[in-house]
Amino acid sequence: MLPSLHTLNLSLREFPEEQQHIIFNILFGEKLKTLRVVASVNFPIKLLAYVPFLSPNVDNLTISGQTHDTWDVEKLSRIFTPAFNLRQCDMKMPDLANKALEVLRWLALFPNISTLGLSLGESFSLALSTKDYEAWGPAFQSVKELLIQADYTTFISPLLRLFSSAPLTSFDIQISAIIPDTDLSGLILTLTRLFDRNLLKRFHLSAIGVYEIGPLLSLSNLEDVSLDPTPPEMDNTRLRDMISSWPRLRRLKLCCEEWEQSNLTLQALILLADAYPGLLYVNMDLNAAEVPANPPQQSRRPARFRSLDEIFLQFSVMEHPRDVAAFLHELVPEHTAVRAWMSDRSNPAAGEMMAALASLRSAQREGSADSHLNTEAVD
């Protein structure tokens, strides 16, 4: 037994049932809190059966990789009973068309789950009655962070009502369909109506489709937003709307489709720096055909980020790499990690810009060092 182990990741792609009793019990101990199991061929029921006896304090569980033929919800529920105080749970369910209700019924046994991930396969379907919502809804009232992955938004909508009373602060939606999803607007409108707009602080949406940003602007306490890809309407004007609606923003990702040219320009960075000098993270697709002047028109001082840790920039167009480097040098602190590339990877402009930025930063450091030495000499 390894009594000091806190986190255990088991990747068991092919794990015959007759081998599941072999010395794996040494991996489990009382201090084990996080258990992640990936097993695609044989569901490791015998292996997991050790957990209640040797690691009763597990409160973070991830199970993934199973097909519907190997996923045995009934046996799983016998192992992970309400005796476990599960607080985080991530269920990867690639093909559970006939077992979705069983999984939800089992998860409903854990009233203290605060972080829940549900990955739904293409055959996922769910039909819940009013009685089901009334019975299970209260069971999910502790969920604060919710991640749902699905092929289409139609698979997500039936689930949302289960969490309508949950105090959600973080919501991730990942839609894997490669064709535009026509139901995105309806889904966004539904979630803004169901959930407490004042509580939600983090919203990440990864889905191809046309939708309006307008309903999201009602989520006034957002601090972390990711739209990847953004809807076609995304431009500097829409960014101004976001800025006026989300005063607490600290992290922002706005990326367009690979084949699209961004309508956001370098002016967008000035808008962000002027409104959010304390922004921590930026990831954006930009058009750098023109390099604007800084300071912005509404201010007498140059806009500048103060606390930015990382900035990731993909450029669809860049005409003057050295001018862009000078622009970023004035806008971004020296401690900020800058990553930049062109959407056309054969275009060397981003590399030239990064080299120029590195040169400017180096010269600034040398100038600061010389100034410090001169001050010491005077003293």
Q: Is residue 266 part of a domain?
A: yes
Residue 93, φ and ψ in degrees, nearest 5: -120, 85
Q: Is residue 126 part of a domain?
A: no
Cis peptide before 229 (omega within 30 of 0): yes
The closest of 114, 53, 47, 34 to 76, measured between CA atoms, is 47
At 321, the pLDDT band (50, 70, 90 cuts) reads: very high
The closest of 114, 129, 125, 167 to 150, measured between CA atoms, is 125
Per-residue pLDDT at 187 exceeds 80: yes
Q: Is residue 236 part of a domain?
A: yes
Question: From CA 360, how far away is CA 323, in angstroms rounded?
Answer: 11
Q: How high is the pLDDT of residue 123?
A: 55
Residue 230 vs residue 134, higher pLDDT: 230
Q: Is residue 312 part of a domain?
A: yes
Q: Is residue 229 part of a domain?
A: yes
Q: pLDDT tens-digit profile of 269-306?
A: 999 999 999 999 999 999 999 999 876 555 556 668 99
Per-residue pLDDT at 153 exceeds 70: yes
Query: Which residue has 């026509």 as its token pair?
Result: 182
Whole-prediction pTM value? 0.87
9: helix, strand or coil: strand
Q: Could you write out the DSSP letters of every residue in 105-122? A: HHHTT-TT--EEEEEE-T
Q: Is residue 279 part of a domain?
A: yes
Q: Is residue 18 part of a domain?
A: no
Q: How high is the pLDDT of residue 93?
A: 63
The domain tally of the chain equals 1
Helices marked H in the chain: 45-48, 51-54, 73-79, 100-107, 130-136, 157-160, 184-194, 236-245, 267-275, 321-331, 349-378
Least confident piece of the model among 63-77, 191-205, 244-258: 63-77
Q: Is residue 316 part of a domain?
A: yes
Domain that holds residue 326: 223-379
